[in-house]
Structure 1
Amino acid sequence: MYPKVNEFVYLQVVSGDEKEAKTEYKSRISDIEEDALLIEVPMEVGHNRLKRLFIGEELSVYFMTESGTKNYFSTYVLGFTNDVVRQVRIRKPEPSSITQVQRRNYLRVPAELELAVGMKNGQRFLVVTDDVGGGGVSYFAESSNQVVEGDLLDCWLLVPYRNGSIEHVHFEAEVVRKKKLESGKQQVMLKFTGITDYERQKIIRYCFERQFDFRNR
Structure 2
Amino acid sequence: MLPKVNQILHIQVNSIDDEESRIEYKSRIADVTDSSIVIEIPINEQSGRLKKLYYGDELSTFYIEQGGVKHYFTTTVTGFREDVIRLVELHKPEPEAITQVQRRSFLRVPAELEIAVKVSDQIQFIGMTDDVGGGGISVVYDGQIPLGINTTISCWLLVPYKNGNIEHIPFSGEVVRVKKLETGKQLAMVRFVEILDRERQKLIRFCFERQMDFRKR
Under TM normalisation by the shorter chain, which class is it? 0.7 to 0.9
Contact 2:11–2:25 (Cα < 8 Å) also in 1: yes
1:57: which partner in 2? 57
Do the aligned partners of 2:132 and 2:207 also contact (CA within 8 Å) in 1?
A: no
Question: Which string of whole-angstrom CA distances, capped at 9 and with x for unpartnered residues, describes residues 115-170 of structure 1?
Answer: 31539xx865431223322322112334x44679x733332211457887745322
State the partner residue of 1:114.
Answer: 115
Query: Matched residues in 2 for 1:153 and 1:202: separation?
Result: 25
Rounded to whole Å, the distance in 2 between the matches of 1:189 and 1:98 is 31
1:27 aligns with 2:23: no
Asked whether the equivalents of residues 77 and 91 of structure 2 are also in contact (C-alpha less than 8 Å), the reply is: yes
Q: Aligned partners of 1:108, 1:45: CA distance in 2, in Å?
A: 32
Aligned equivalent of 1:12: 12
Q: 2-side partners of 1:87 and 1:177: how far apart? A: 53
Q: How much has 1:16 moved relative to structure 2? A: 1.2
Match for residue 88 of structure 1? Answer: 88
The count of residues paired between Structure 1 and Structure 2 equals 207
| Kept after mapping to 1: 8 A contact 2:137/2:190 | yes
Query: Cα 1:160–1:209, aligned 2, differ >3 Å: closer, same or farther?
Result: farther
Residues 69 and 164 of structure 1: CA distance in aligned 2, closer, same or farther (over 3 Å): same
**Contact 1:169/1:202 (8 A) holds in 2:** no
Q: Percent identity?
A: 34
Q: 1:154 to 1:68 in 2, by over 3 A?
A: same
Q: What is the rounded CA distance, in whole Å, between the counterparts of 1:125 and 1:167 in structure 2?
A: 16
- Residue of structure 2 equivalent to 1:38: 38
Partner of 1:153: 151
> Relative to 1, partners in 2 of residues 1:76 and 1:111: Cα closer, same or farther, differing over 3 Å?
farther
Q: Tell me the SS of whatever aligns to 2:73.
A: strand
Q: What SS does the corresponding residue of 1:46 show, helix, strand or coil?
A: coil
> Residue 26 of structure 2 contacts residue 44 of structure 2 at CA under 8 Å; is this kept in 1?
yes
Distance in 2 of aligned mates of 1:30 and 1:189: 46
Aligned AA for 2:135? Answer: G
Task: List alignment gaps of at least 5 residues for structure 2.
Answer: none
Q: 1:52 to 1:200 in 2, by over 3 A?
A: closer
The answer for unaligned runs of 5 or more in structure 1 is none
Distance in 1, Cα, partners of 2:65 & 2:145: 44
Kept in 2, the 8 Å contact 1:134–1:203? The answer is no
Which AA in structure 1 matches 2:187? Answer: V
Structure 1 range deviating more: 12-21 or 158-167: 158-167
Equivalent-residue separation in structure 2 for 1:117 and 1:47 (angstroms): 33
Aligned 8 A contact 2:13 2:57 in 1:
yes
Question: What TM-score do the two structures reach when normalised by structure 1?
Answer: 0.79
Distance 1:164 1:13, change over 3 A: farther
State the 1:47 CA deviation.
2.6
